[in-house]
Amino acid sequence: MSLYLLLMNLQEQISRMKSMMGVINENIPQPGESSGSPLSDEERQGMESRTEELTVNELIDMLDYVPYYKEVLQDVQNDDYSWGVTEKVMEYAKYLKQNPDSIYNLPPIIIVNGKLQDGAHRISALYLLQNNLDMDNPLWSEVKLNVEFYS
């Protein structure tokens, strides 16, 4: 096979892979309106940081405030999906339940000066899984999440 044909075949394969990645990425829950955001490189400059691996329950116990995880659980128990946050958390939870290995690829939870900056949807989804949607699966209460602390 000529070099030209090899290159054309390679380009075709790359194009096919990019197309497939688009489909895969479309299925991964994307941040919603109420989502936080990670720190930019600029914001991180001059801040001390450390990374720990913690379970959802350890995180909830350690932080003074974690938004809406209890309310989302109550909404699901009441079969009320009218709140956008509950909808988004359900999207995350369903995805995680169908793709449990994806838990290891989640971005880190971000804590700045002791307050949760990014990760409330993920925390709520895992809490929902362990307390309602998939209670018999020990993964959701045992999995350790990467948590980045900044001060």
Residue 82's contacts (CB-CB under 8 Å, 6 or more residues apart) are 75
Q: Is residue 41 part of a domain?
A: no
Amino acid at 80: D
- Res 133 pLDDT > 90: yes
- Res 2 pLDDT > 90: no
Provide the Cα torsion 138, 141, 144, 150; round to 10°. 170
pTM of the model: 0.75
Report pLDDT digits (tens) over 72-128.
999 999 999 999 999 999 999 999 999 999 999 899 999 999 999 999 999 999 999
Is residue 86 within 8 Å of residue 75, measured between CB atoms?
Answer: yes
pLDDT score at 150: 94
Q: Is residue 68 part of a domain?
A: yes
DSSP the chain: --HHHHHHHHHHHHHHHHHHHHHHHHHS----TT---PPPHHHHTT--EEEEEE-HHHHHHHSS---SHHHHHHHHHTT---SHHHHHHHHHHHHHHH-GGGGGGPPPEEEETTEEEE-HHHHHHHHHIIIIITTT-THHHHPPEEEEEE-
Q: Is residue 23 part of a domain?
A: no
Note down the domain range covering 123. Answer: 47-151
Q: Is residue 87 part of a domain?
A: yes
Q: Is residue 74 part of a domain?
A: yes
Q: Is residue 127 part of a domain?
A: yes
pLDDT score at 25: 47
Q: Is residue 1 part of a domain?
A: no
Report pLDDT digits (tens) over 16-62.
665 555 444 446 555 555 555 566 767 777 889 999 999 999 999 99
Q: Residue 81 has which token pair? A: 């999906």
Task: Domain count for the chain, please give it.
Answer: 1
Q: Is residue 69 part of a domain?
A: yes
Q: Which residue has the higher pLDDT, 148 or 34?
A: 148
pLDDT score at 44: 73
- Res 13 pLDDT > 90: no
Measured between alpha carbons, how far is 122 from 108 in angstroms, rounded to an integer?
A: 10
